[in-house]
Amino acid sequence: AQTVTQSQPEMSVQEAETVTLSCTYDTSESDYYLFWYKQPPSRQMILVIRQEAYKQQNATENRFSVNFQKAAKSFSLKISDSQLGDAAMYFCAYRSITQGNYKLTFGKGTLLTVNP
């Protein structure tokens, strides 16, 4: 079974600065998807960014980018030019591509605080 570990329960960053959230995972599969989800205090979880394991190029979405190290099974999220609206719980998630077993396995999350 796959596991996802987020070793930073809480992080804080000053507005306009850069912060990196860590995620490691354990799997025996060679192909899979990785995701970062954001859950603001209102509780509606939204997708931030996704990475296909077979792609060597790191995914980017505006101010959000990932550092995907497949051999190290590491998948960190970098938020540049942090904004107050980035404050939320961030979850790293793994998704197998095994047919019929596409469930998301989440880490425990990292609570990000953005200081003005």
Partner 1 sequence: EAGVAQSPRYKIIEKRQSVAFWCNPISGHATLYWYQQILGQGPKLLIQFQNNGVVDDSQLPKDRFSAERLKGVDSTLKIQPAKLEDSAVYLCASSWKGLVQETQYFGPGTRLLVL
Contact between 76 and 20 (Cβ < 8 Å): yes
Pick between residue 47 and residue 84 the one whose CB is nearest to partner 1: 47
CB 8 within 8 A of CB 61: no
Candidates 17-25, 54-62, 75-83, 102-110; binding stretch for partner 1 (CB under 8 A): 102-110
Candidate list 28, 43, 72, 116; residue touching partner 1; CB under 8 A: 43
Task: Give the pairing of strands 46-52 and 32-39.
Answer: antiparallel
98 or 115: whose CB is closer to partner 1? 98
CB of 15 to partner 1, least distance (A): 27
Beta bridge partners of 74: 24, 69
User: How far, in whole angstroms, is CA 39 from its chain's centroid?
Assistant: 12
Residue with tokens 């019929």: 100
- Residues 77-96 touching partner 1, rule: CB under 8 A, are 91, 93, 95-96
Q: Which residues bind partner 1 (CB under 8 A)?
A: 4, 33, 42-47, 50, 52, 91, 93, 95-97, 100-104, 106-109
